[in-house]
Copies of this chain bind each other. A is one copy, B any other.
């Protein structure tokens, strides 16, 4: 794999007020082109600091990516420093400056002289500008003897655009190799159980790296290989071993999209009755464009009165079993289904926390019911002490319940 160095420049990154998401994006996109970040340094917007950074780039790096500090203000000293460091004469690009100023004129504004540095290019033979299809600050590609240097803005959209159109094609041309990356998304199974199930597949897969990426709502299994056949073999074996009960998709699939697609294919409609999740399930379902074709709506029946008056939960059931009970969850699902005349309905009731728990009904206790015609599936869960995690997990489990039901239907 081609080894690449990365220097990110910016006080905001070091002070922690900006989380550096550029670097992870760059890291991932390089891998698929057969390269990887081997060394990543973050320094302040400061002449000396940037020079120290450039001095310490390891010799094994054959390309160096630099982001940040290319804007027009006094903080933006990256360009000047880079030119000085590599001994390159800056040339003023009259044409580009005319273009920039005329663009601004069209908007009825004058471009301040401070923007002139955005029209600076390297002297001929020492480098190229990298076009910016989105903003006004162009990037620079410097040809150095040992290393090619790519300087880009820190604005994510502009950086990504330059990566896609200039840097990644250059890298791909160097490596001439393609790395295959695939992610299998699971939910409802713990990392350790997954490890037990597929441990031998990980052991026996050649030239293939398999890793678990656990989150609260599920575990992703990432497969990286330089060989498409090996990669597909590993993926197939894992799919077979783990099964559709837990695997809901690949790569950037979301559970709500997958469920939506299944409802659409089966021509079924859904409604929701939420208590402790307060609307999160509906929010997730409607994140999918076109969800109005199958999601008829729902109620956030947060109060008992609303449960009784709107979705017909019986007062006697509430009195006898309490709002967080299997019985109430069943009546909630039936009630909203009948109210909205949907084919299926999902209901969630629970103690989200941090308060409101009792010995018999602790924080984290959640009941979820799925109803479809005469079919009724209710499950009890005991999640965690954290309100937001409990809400997230409840919505995730509810979506996976309906997915599994539709799979086997």
Contact = CB atoms under 8 A, between A and B. Distances in A.
A300 B279 contact: yes
A34 B301 CA distance: 49
A279 B290 contact: no
A307 B192 CA distance: 46
A36 B14 contact: yes
A31 interface: yes
Contact of A305 (B27, B276, B340): B340
Nearest to A42: B40
Given A283-B278, A300-B282, A391-B283, A289 B355 contact: yes
Interface string A281-295: 111011101111001
Contact of A300 (B15, B41, B299): B299
A243 interface: no
A297 B297 contact: no
Nearest to A213: B17
Interface in A262-315: 272, 274, 276-283, 285-287, 289-292, 295-303, 305-306, 309-310
Contacts of A29: 16
A179 to B, nearest CB: 11
B14 A20 contact: no
A144 to B, nearest CB: 20
A298 B299 contact: yes
Contacts of A20: 19-20, 23-24
Interface string A182-214: 000000000000000000000000000001010
B339 A310 contact: yes
Interface in A357-409: 387-388, 391
Nearest to A24: B16
Which of A20, A211, A281, A354 counts the most chain B CB atoms within 10 A?
A20
A44 interface: yes
A317 interface: no
Which of A56, A305, A339 counts the most chain B CB atoms within 10 A?
A56
Given A302-B295, A387-B289, A19 B15 contact: no
Contacts of A211: 12, 17
Contacts of A26: 16
Contacts of A310: 297, 299, 310, 339-340
A283 B279 contact: yes
A278 B285 CA distance: 8
Contacts of A295: 278, 302
23 contacts: A14-B40, A16-B26, A17-B28, A19-B20, A20-B20, A20-B23, A38-B49, A40-B42, A41-B41, A277-B286, A278-B283, A278-B286, A278-B291, A279-B283, A279-B286, A283-B283, A292-B303, A295-B302, A296-B305, A306-B340, A309-B340, A310-B310, A310-B340
Given A17-B27, A286-B302, A297-B306, 15 more contacts: A13-B27, A15-B37, A16-B23, A19-B20, A38-B44, A41-B42, A282-B282, A286-B391, A290-B355, A296-B302, A298-B299, A298-B302, A299-B300, A306-B340, A310-B339
